[in-house]
Amino acid sequence: MTGCRLHGVFAAFAELGVRAEPVVYSDAEVDVVRDRLLSLQGVLVWVNPIEQGRDRSKLDPLLREISEQGVWVSAHPDVIGRMATKKVLVDTQQISWSSDTRLYTSPAQLKAELPMRLASGARVLKQQRGNGGHGVWKIEQGQGAFLVQDAAGDGSVELVELDTFVERCAPYFADDGVIIEQPFLERITEGMIRAYLSRNHVVGFAHQYPHGLRPDSAGEPPPGKHFHPPEALRFKGLRRRLEEEWLPQMQLLLGLETRELPVIWDADFLYGPKTAAGEDTHVLCEINASSTFAFPEFAMPAVALAALRQIASR
């Protein structure tokens, strides 16, 4: 499997004497995929939530079905629904990883409430499911209209009327979808920290500089994604708060047992305002559990071992 971008997963299982095999999913091949998955003991799932206009409307029922028949699934679609859509930012706003977050359930609510929210500064709006900055917008007050920037675009800023922007966001409300709003964090110029986890333990970090919503005044960001081991001193405080404080609180709020947590998932943080003592704070911007890639290769042995233990416990 050296030619596969998930080769580190297969290598980790091979080291444990376990045969892992790839199963390529397609909506057109649900029956064929079902038969293959039912012949396995466990399934690790990597699927983008929205890929070229597709969705998980056929995949999720399939995964629920094979789980009910005894195949272990990570991440289970019901678990993703609770912890790995943007709505988790609202559902966990009691936790200190949160910011001043707002939930919009309709275009009418967005049109009525957003202007008042913008009076206190720029905001970021996010559709419930998505990746790569799709459906993520920065918006702030401008002269007679609103300044809007698409996180998946080229960095340009448009001057847009409120009705036009609300119409642009209307598709995000389809099928009971919602939009989540957070304050725009000025320290985005310092990059994003991705914490990789297996169940409730951190297994690595990445520091990267996404282009989306980065101000032009900050200049060109440093290239690449830099991985760091879980013991990295620069992230010691973040790791402690994640494992000892935030994750137990999240599990309690969302009703998730540790055995339900995915064996590979990640939480993305931006730097928040510094404390009076000059220490960094961190603000959660999303959780990924359905398409956790790229990941640090050194984390894969822990992921494979966690998967085997979970399969054995069933």
Decide if 196 is inside a domain.
yes
Distances (CA, A) of 296 to 16, 44, 61, 229, 286: 18, 16, 30, 8, 19
Same domain, 209 and 290: yes
Q: Which of these, 310, 293, 273, 292, lies nearest to 84 by C-alpha position?
A: 292
Decide if 306 is inside a domain.
no
Decide if 4 is inside a domain.
no
- Tally the C-alpha atoms within 13 A of residue 70's C-alpha that lie toward its C-beta: 6
Long-range CB pairs of 171-174 (<8 Å, 24+ gap) are 172/127, 172/128, 172/135, 173/105, 173/106, 173/107
Q: How far, in Å, CA of 233 to CA of 229, rounded? A: 9
Note down the domain range covering 111.
102-184
Same domain, 146 and 213: no
Same domain, 206 and 162: no
pLDDT of residue 224: 83
pLDDT at 102 over 70: yes
Same domain, 132 and 194: no
Decide if 227 is inside a domain.
yes
Encoding tokens for residue 85? 């859509």
pLDDT at 96 over 70: yes
Confidence of residue 290 (pLDDT cuts 50, 70, 90): confident
Decide if 266 is inside a domain.
yes
Same domain, 179 and 245: no
Q: What is the CATH number of the domain that holds 210?
A: 3.30.470
Q: How far, in Å, CA of 162 to CA of 166, rounded? A: 6
Same domain, 135 and 150: yes
Decide if 309 is inside a domain.
no
- For the chain, how many structural domains are there in total? 2
Decide if 149 is inside a domain.
yes
Longest dimension (CA), the chain: 65
Q: How far, in Å, CA of 42 to CA of 13, rounded? A: 12
pLDDT of residue 155: 83
Same domain, 248 and 225: yes
The residue out of 125, 157, 184 marking a domain boundary is 184
Q: Which residue shows structure tokens 């905001």?
A: 123
Same domain, 198 and 276: yes
pLDDT at 51 over 80: no
Same domain, 278 and 213: yes
pLDDT at 3 over 70: no
Same domain, 121 and 211: no
pLDDT of residue 295: 86
pLDDT of residue 1: 61
Decide if 24 is inside a domain.
no
pLDDT of residue 158: 94
The residue out of 184, 208, 228 marking a domain boundary is 184
Q: How far, in Å, CA of 276 to CA of 159, rounded? A: 37
Same domain, 221 and 93: yes
Q: Is residue 193 within 8 Å of residue 238, measured between CB atoms?
A: yes
The residue out of 131, 153, 184 marking a domain boundary is 184
Same domain, 89 and 238: yes
Average pLDDT over residues 145-168: 94
Burial of 217 (0-12, 13-18, 19+ CB in 10 A): exposed
Share the mean pLDDT of the chain: 92
Strand stretches in the chain, DSSP E: 42-44, 72-74, 102-104, 123-127, 136-141, 146-150, 157-160, 179-183, 192-198, 201-208, 225-228, 265-272, 281-288
